[in-house]
Amino acid sequence: MKEKDVKILWGRSGNRCAICKIELTPVGSKSVLGEMAHIIADSPQGPRGDSHLTSEQRNEYNNLILLCPTHHTLIDKNEEEWTVEKLRIIKSEHENWVTNQLTNNNISINSIDNSKFIESREKSWISFSDNKLWFITSLTPLHIYEDSIDPLTQELYSLIKSLILPKFNGYSLFSDTLNQYNTVPNEYGIINEESPNDVQNKLGHKIQVFRNGHCEFLMCLEYLRTGRDNSSNDVLRYEDMRNSFISQMEGILNIWSKTLPFNDMLLTVMMTNTTYISLYSGQQTYNGYLLGRPVTSPTLKYSRVINKTEKLQFLQDLVIKRFVNYFGLNINSVFAENGNINLPNILYF
C-alpha cells in the first residue's frame, strides 16, 4: 500500500471502524487496533477476490476500508453476507458520517472499556447464585457493542450441545452431557440452562453466549460440599474444584477458538458464596485431613486478559493454582507428567 492511500484512508475514516465506530487508537494504549481491510481481496483466492482489478489497484484507497480486528475477521469469514457492494456503501456512509461529526464537533475520543459490562455480569451472577456455591468462567471482549456476532448459527448451536459437563467421582447420578433441547435463544443471545434440584440430586449449570461476544459457563457445586470439618466450616474437595474448572475452561475456550472473532478477551473466573468454606487437599496427615484455611470472602475472583494463542492447559493451571492459594494451600503444578492428579499442600520454601 502506498503511504498516500494509507493517509487518505485513516484521515477520511476519522480513526474509527467503519462498521462499529469504535476508536482505533485508544487513549492510554500503545496498541493500534485499526486494520486496513481489502474490499476486493489482494489476491484472486481471497475473500471477494474474483475481480479484474490489478494487484496495484487492489491496494489503493478505493479498495480499502478501515475496520477493527473483530469486523475485519467477520467480513472475511462471511463474504456472502459482506459483499463488495455492501462494503463500498458502508465505507461511503461512514466517511460521510465522519465529515458530519467533525463539522458539528461531535467526535470524541473514548477509552476502550468493558468494565461496566463485566461489573453488571458479576452482580447478576451473585444474585443468580441464591446463596449456593457456583463456579463461573467467562470470556468478555475488550470492547463491548451489540451484534458483534450472530449467536444463532448452526456451528455455535452444535458446539454448545456438544459441551461436556464436569465428571465427579462418587456422584454417578450426575450426567456429564447436556440436554440438547435446553439450548434456546433468549434476550441476550443463546443459552443452555438447567437449575439445581435437591430432590433429584442434580448439579445446575448455565451456558450463555451473548450477541456482544461475551460467553459464560456456570456450574452449581452446592451439593458437592463434603460436610463439615471439626469446626463449623463447609468443605470442598480439591478434586471437585479442579475438575469443574478444567471442564468449564475447556468448553468456553473451545467456543472462543471456533466461533468468536476476537484475538484478545478478558477471562473472569469466580466462586460465589464461599464464606467459611475450607478446601480438602485430597491427602491426609498424621493428625487428620489436610485442609486449607477457611476463606472469609463471600466471593473469590481471578481475572486476566488472555490471547487466543495461549495454551488451554497453561490457563487451566494458572487459574486453579490461584484458587488453591485463596484457600491457604499451594500447588506447584496442577498437571502431573504421568497423568495423575497433583495435590495441594502447605506452602514450603
Tens-digit pLDDT profile for residues 247-271: 999 999 999 999 888 888 899 999 9
Task: Give the pLDDT confidence score for residue 111 in this predicted structure.
Answer: 47
Dist CA 162 CA 311 (whole Å): 21
Taking a C-beta distance cutoff of 8 angstroms, is the pair 37, 64 a contact? yes
Q: Are 142 and 265 in contact (CB under 8 A)?
A: yes
* pLDDT tens-digit map of 180-205: 788 999 999 999 998 876 545 567 89
Beta bridge partners of 59: none
Cell of 230: 471439626
Please give the pLDDT value at position 199.
42
Pick the closest to residue 326 from 348, 285, 297 (CA basis): 297
Average per-residue pLDDT for the chain: 86
CA 322 to chain centroid, in Å, comes to: 19
Sort 198 into a burial class: Cβ within 10 Å, 0-12 / 13-18 / 19+: exposed
The phi, psi pair for 265, rounded to 5°, reads -145, 160
Judge contact between 183 and 221, C-beta under 8 A.
Answer: no
Those residues whose C-beta lies under 8 Å from the C-beta of residue 82, and which sit 6 or more positions away, are 48, 74, 75, 76
Cα dist. 202→63, 117, 163 in Å?
56, 30, 17
Residue 60: is it exposed, middle or buried by C-beta count within 10 angstroms (0-12/13-18/19+)? Answer: middle
Q: All 3 cell numbers of residue 50?
A: 474474483
Computed from CA positions of residues 87, 93, 99, 102, in that sequence, does the dihedral angle turn out positive or negative? negative
Q: Where are the beta strands (DSSP E) in the chain?
A: 35-38, 64-67, 134-141, 183-185, 189-194, 205-210, 215-220, 225-228, 234-237, 264-272, 277-285, 288-291, 299-307
Higher pLDDT, 132 or 176: 132
Identify the weakest region by mean pLDDT among 25-29, 212-216, 290-294.
25-29
What secondary structure letter does DSSP report for 288? E
What is the bridge-based pairing of β-strands 134-141 and 215-220? antiparallel
Vertex 162 angle, CA 263 and 253, to 5°: 20
Q: Is the pLDDT of residue 214 over 90?
A: yes
- 147: how many CB neighbours lie within 10 A of its CB? 11
Is the model's pTM score more than 0.75? no
43-83 per-position pLDDT tens digit = 999 999 999 999 999 999 999 999 988 899 889 988 889 99
Mean of pLDDT values over 211-240: 83
Q: Which residues pair with 239 in a beta bridge?
A: none
Per-residue model confidence (pLDDT) at position 103: 83
Please report how the helices 238-259 and 312-326 are oriented relative to each other, as an axis angle in degrees rounded to 10: 140
- pLDDT of 22 reads 82
- Residue 180 and residue 34: Cα distance in Å, rounded? 39
Cβ-proximal residues to 329 (8 Å cutoff; 6+ apart), any chain? 238, 279, 281, 290, 292, 344, 345, 346, 347
Q: What is the CA radius of gyration of the chain?
A: 24
Among candidate residues 285, 289, 293, 298, the one with its CA nearest the CA of residue 329: 293
